Amino acid sequence: MLDLPRPEAGLRIVPLHRLCAGGRWRTEAMRSYGQAVLYWFIRGQGRVTVQGITRGYGAHNAVLLPPGTMHGFDTAGTVQGHAVFLPKDAEPDMPSIPLHLRLRDVQPQAELTFHIEAMRAELERGANTSEVALTHHVGLLTVWLSRQAGEAWTRDEDLTSTPGESLASAYTSLLERYFRDGHGVADYARALGVTPAHLTRCCRQTSGRAASDLLHDRLHFEACRLLGETRMPVKAVAETLGFRSSAYFTRAFRARAGMTPSQFRRRA
């Protein structure tokens, strides 16, 4: 299991090297989570794609994502840091849009590390009073993040600015809601009032990927998750993800993963 033991349901802290060790699909494929997640990159570098917009990250970068935010990241070599999955009761006090913090000063770097290490220590301690302590630690972290968000917005460091980025963000929001329904890029483009070619062009400009790549990436992550973490039959996985048949799903999965769904499940 990637999770650390936790007395408070919903809070998880996963070292990034363990997350990356689970396979490239666990980090690079587009996905979202039902809870807010904070990535704290202490060392290393790579690219992170948030709502169809790709930017580089380096050491001492923090990326905060509200629930349901489509994203993925790749690494250029080894990275160190944490993925912090925050409890749902913290959401009302969190920034409501994605936030990418480039912490250049030592003080905020140390503050964020302190908050995460304090929570991790309580998770590992597992004492009777840990749940109360975690509630307060999470509260302090949300206050810290809100303050950092205010400073970042003052500097106009938001993740969406150009018309192309706004379109890519709108596309991934729709994609996250409806990717299981079997829609193609043309359907999403029609809903957004643009042509498929224009949507694809904007996605390439903002993320380096075609609109279809983002769609197939999201489907692939969900397929891997269902195959690796549930006992759902392959046919049911195909139906859940909107594929016309299990044979078509198997061909699409093999083309992306280099193995059949059954082979992937045995190795997961």
pLDDT reading at 66 higher than 50: yes
Query: Rounded mean pLDDT of 117-123?
Result: 95
What is the chain's mean pLDDT, rounded?
91
Q: What tokens does 57 get?
A: 């990250």
Comparison of pLDDT for 73 and 154, the residue scoring more: 73
What pLDDT does 153 receive? 63
Q: Are 26 and 217 within 8 A, CB to CB?
A: no
Q: Are 64 and 94 within 8 A, CB to CB?
A: yes
Q: Are 111 and 120 within 8 A, CB to CB?
A: no
Tell me, yes or no, if the pTM score tops 0.85.
yes
> Would you mind telling me the total number of residues written for the chain in this entry?
268
Q: What is the 3-state secondary structure (H, E, C) of 151-204?
A: HHHHCCCCCCCCHHHHHHHHHHHHHHHHHHHCCCHHHHHHHHCCCHHHHHHHHH
pLDDT reading at 9 higher than 50: no
Quote the Cα angle for 26-30-32, to 5°.
85
Please, what are the domains in the chain?
12-154 (2.60.120.280), 163-267 (1.10.10.60)
pLDDT reading at 160 higher than 80: no
Residues 206 and 135: their CA atoms lie apart, in Å, by 38
